[in-house]
Amino acid sequence: MRIKNHPILGEFDKGRTVAFSYNGAPMTGCEGEPIAAALRANDVIIHRYTSKEHKPRGIFCAIGRCTDCVMIVNGKPNVRTCVTPLEEGMTVETQYGLLTQEEAEAKGAVL
């Protein structure tokens, strides 16, 4: 899904490739790009499930406004993945419902 040789922008100036984990599975992305972009490049587009109806949600606005793309990142819930830069070794997990930090920890979110 990564764009190679764009007709106007040429090659994208991306950060170095780093490893992170998605629901425990190893993945790679570019350092500094939004977590959501790294996930999209790995064909992951479901970020969370809603609390009442358990419906999947993914990126909608991609600029940090709509909060549809929140996930649990490094054990912290409700992180907007479209505006949070990817760092080496991050743990990224699907979020189920709205969580407080305590609930996330109780559910064993920190892998």
- Residue with smaller CB distance to other proteins, 56 or 88: 56
Q: Does 12 interact with other proteins (rule: CB under 8 A)? A: yes
* Among the listed residues 15, 31, 58, 87, the single contact to other proteins using CB under 8 A: 58
Half-sphere CA count of 29, side-chain side, radius 13 A:
27
Rounded to whole angstroms, the Cα distance separating 50 from 46 reads 11
Binding segment (CB under 8 A) for other proteins, from list 17-25, 64-72, 91-99, 101-109: 64-72
Rounded to whole angstroms, the Cα distance separating 27 from 86 reads 12
What x/- string results for residues 16 through 55 when contact with other proteins is judged by CB under 8 A? -----------------xx--x--xx---xxx-------x
* Among the listed residues 25, 63, 98, 110, the single contact to other proteins using CB under 8 A: 63
Q: Does 97 interact with other proteins (rule: CB under 8 A)? A: no
3-state SS, 34-91, equals EHHHHHHHCCCCCCEECCCCCCEECCCCCCCCCCCCEEEECCEEEEECCCCECCCCCE
19 three-state secondary structure: strand
Give the footprint of other proteins on this chain (CB under 8 A): 1-9, 12, 14, 33-34, 37, 40-41, 45-47, 55-65, 68, 82-83, 85
